[in-house]
Structures are given as C-alpha cells and as structure tokens.
Amino acid sequence: MNDFAADLILHFFIMMIIPFTNNLLSHQRAGMKSPSFLMVVLIFSLFLTMAFPVTIAGDQSFDLKFIPVFVAYFYIHPAAGIITIIALIGFKALFSAGSLLIMTINYSVIAVLFYFASKYYQKCSFRQKLSLAAVFYVPITITRYLIFIQEGLYGEAIFLILFSIVSIVTISMIIYLIEIDRVRTAMMEKLKSADKLNAISQLAASVAHEIRNPMTTVRGFLQMLKNDQNLTSEQSTFISVSLEELDRTNHIINDFLSLARPDSSVSGKVLLSATLFEVADFMRSYALMAKVEIRTKISDGIFINGNMNELKQLLINLIKNSIEAMPDGGILEVCAFKKGSTAYIHITDEGIGLSEKQLSMLGQPYYSTKTKGTGLGLMISFDIIKRMKGEYYIDSEENNGTTFTIKLPLFKLSDEQVKASLDKANSAGRQQPT
C-alpha cells in the first residue's frame, strides 16, 4: 500500500511538470512560449510516466500517458497530438512490447476522436472542458475495472479505482492551471491594449484638430487647381490622387477622434433586426462592386440596449471587412437570432481567412491585414462591443473564410427605468377622474 501511494504521488508530480513549467517559464522568456517548448515538456513527462509505471496486481501496471496526449491535442495542435502518440508507441516498444498492437489500435481511435473534439474544445467553458476530459477518461477506467473483475482481482480493483480518481484529479488540475494561465495572459494583453488605446486617445485629442486645419486649406487649393482648364491629364491625375489621399487621411483622423471621444453616447432600446436589414441593404451596392452577394437570415423582434449610430458603425465596419476579404467575390451571410437573454450575430464570409498569428493581432493599434489599413476600424468595433457589454469570437482558417460572432445582451429595463415607469403609471392613475 505504501509503495502504491508513493507511486501515485510520483506520477502526480510528473504530470505537474507540464502546467508548472509552461506557466512559469513561458512568461520569462519569449522563446519558451512556443509550442515546441511545451512539446519537449510533454514528451519528457510521457517518458517518465511510462518508464516508472504504477504496478497494481502482478504484471498489471498503469501510467498517465493519456494526459500528455490530451494536452498535446487540446492545448497545442492535433499535429502535436499525433507526434505525442507516435512517441508513446515508441516508448511502449522500448520498455515492453507486450500488448503493443492493442495499444496502437486504442490510441489510433483516440487520435480520431480527439481530432474532431479539438475544434469544439476551444469554445467550451472551464466546466465543459473538465467534463470532456472525464468523458474520454471514464470509459478507459470502466474497461480496466471490468478486466479486473473478469480475472477475479476484486481486491486489486479498489486500487484501480483509487488510481483512476488520482488520474482524473491530475488532469483536472492540469486543465485548471493552464486555463488560469491563459486567463492571466489574456488579461495582461487587454491591459497592454488599454494602455495603447489610452495613448492613442491622448494623441488624437491633442493633435487631430491641429492637423485637420492645414489639411482643409491644402484640399481647398488642390480643388481650385483641379478646376484649372490648362492642366495636362497627368497633372490632373496627380491632383486627384492627392485629394483621395487627403480624404483617406481625414478618415483616419475621424477614427482617432472616435477613439478619443468620451463615452457619453446615449443608450436605449434598439431594434437589432431592423438595423441589420438596414445596414445589409446599405452595403449591397458596395458588395455588388466587389462581386459579393449578401444573404440575410435575421429573426424578428430582437431588441438590445445600445446606441443606434454606434451599432450601425460596428456592423458597417465588420461587413466591409468581410467584403474586402473576398477579392474574387463570394457569398456573405449575415445571421441574427436570440437565445435565452442573449442576441447572437454571425457574419460569415468565403474570403482568404486569417492565420492564428493574424487572429491574435486583430484589434491592436496600427495592425491591419489590408495594405492601406490602420487597424483603427476594428479597434473601434471591439470598443463598441465592449461598451454594449457584449462579447465577440472570431473563427477563421486561411483560405477557408471567417465567421465573426457577436453576443449582445437583450434589452432589459434598468432599475431606474423600472422605477420611473412605475412612478409614471402611479402618477397617471392618481390623475384619473373618479
């Protein structure tokens, strides 16, 4: 019993190498944040758990090789999971070739299941992720338990149950520590973005108007020159290009001022359904020039709390980006529906898509995938979603299009509004003639 307990503790700490090493060292050196570093840790922990298995009954020994495979698939990439399984099979052949074929078949099935589950896993909540890990591990425990019962190893079956409990606790701890690190990292990134946004806002407030005044003068003189009948076609072209660039610069200044503008917009009840139809119709002419067809599937009667103008600006920015992501044309779908107390908006295009690196950079100052873009449009869009107490998700693959999902709370009267409505109703009641 003492040896069994010691083995369990040993394997627990072997697996704890994965989250602790990654979480602690990945923030100290940039190079250690790469998936290759975590892969080294996974292979190392896999080697240790298979080299020193937990022996329960005679030649019946078990380890925690399932955990490195799980982490590789769901926290790095399915390709990393396949590499880990290949290493697992290699270590099995090295330490003990017995039941090698059965284990290879088992983990081949696991590889397929993990591949399909990995796409769903990233969208799960913390509890759902724990449940998914248990769903995959519990059948393994049940199979082992039935084998023990069939062979008459009733006493040893208790040790197997203890080992399985420790295994589930271990993988739950690993998921918890990795998820906590992800939340902390995301929060740090948000703080950095907030600092950048604050710096841009201060810059915009201090210099935007000073820049706009001379620009207006320059534009006026260029417009006068353009009306000159003696200009050559080449000179006229140069002036037209200059005017276009001045207009683009003015648009960028407006974006700066949008960021610098105090959060004083008036919020109220907005019919999202009608606004979406209006914006989709407004953008159809622009889409037509880009050979893009806009299709809508919008439920009626979706009310949210927000500012109408800001909502339109948000939707126009996102739809415009989706259209520009399809240089060869395609179909753009705009869907909206409500579920529970939340409104959902899906904007899906068939464009060039985004890589993981591009996705991580979206919304940052001065970052844009477009040649002449500034990144301010998405910054403003994300800021509007935040002010509306909403959330957004971007699902994209290179050459496979992008889906932008927005979740917004449905319209709900505030306590002050409820009180005001009741007071108004009571007042009206008192004024009625008897």
Per-domain boundaries in the chain: 2-190, 194-260, 268-417
The one-character DSSP state at 64 is -
Mean pLDDT of the chain: 81
Q: What is the pLDDT of residues 11-27, one digit of tens each?
A: 889 999 988 877 776 66
Specify the pLDDT at position 47. Answer: 93
- 370 CB neighbour count, 10 Å cutoff: 11
Closest CA to 140 of 69, 44, 41, 42: 69
Which whole number is the average pLDDT over 65-76?
A: 91
Which residues are paired to 406 by β-bridges? Answer: 345, 392
Amino acid at 140: I
Hey, what CATH class is 2-190 in? Answer: mainly alpha
Residue 348 pLDDT > 90, yes or no?
Answer: yes
Residues 170, 67 contacting (CB under 8 angstroms)? yes
Q: Which CATH entry fits the domain spanning 268-417: 3.40.50.970, 3.30.565.10, 3.40.50.150, 3.40.50.300?
A: 3.30.565.10
Residue with tokens 């008897």: 434
235-249, 257-271, 319-333, range with the lowest pLDDT:
257-271
The structure's pTM equals 0.60
Specify the pLDDT at position 407. Answer: 94
Q: What is the pLDDT of residues 256-289, one digit of tens each?
A: 666 656 555 567 889 999 999 999 998 998 899 9
Which whole number is the average pLDDT over 100-114?
A: 87
Q: Are strands 330-339 and 292-298 parallel, antiparallel or unpaired?
A: parallel
Straight-line distance from the first to the last Cα atom of the chain, in angstroms, rounded to the nearest whole number: 87
Residue 386 pLDDT > 90, yes or no?
Answer: no
Which whole number is the average pLDDT over 58-62?
A: 69
Q: How far apart are CA 280 and CA 334, in angstroms?
A: 8
Which whole number is the average pLDDT over 106-117?
A: 88
Residues 288, 326 contacting (CB under 8 angstroms)? no
Residue 417 pLDDT > 60, yes or no?
Answer: no
Q: How far apart are CA 427 and CA 434, in angstroms?
A: 14
Please report how the helices 154-226 and 66-75 are oriented relative to each other, as an axis angle in degrees rounded to 10. Answer: 10
What is the Cα 101 distance to its own chain's centre?
Answer: 39
Residue 422 pLDDT > 70, yes or no?
Answer: no
Q: How far apart are CA 74 and CA 80, in angstroms?
A: 9
Residue 388 pLDDT > 70, yes or no?
Answer: yes
Specify the pLDDT at position 176. Answer: 92
Q: What is the pLDDT of residues 148-184, one digit of tens each?
A: 777 666 667 777 788 888 889 999 999 999 888 888 8
Residue 42 pLDDT > 70, yes or no?
Answer: yes
pLDDT band at 87 (very low <50, low <70, confident <90, very high): very high
Cα three-residue angle 366-367-370, rounded to 5 degrees: 110
Q: How far apart are CA 52 and CA 1, in angstroms?
A: 17
The fraction of the chain above a pLDDT of 90, given in percent, is 24
Q: How far apart are CA 221 and CA 13, in angstroms?
A: 74
Fold match, 2-190 / 268-417:
no
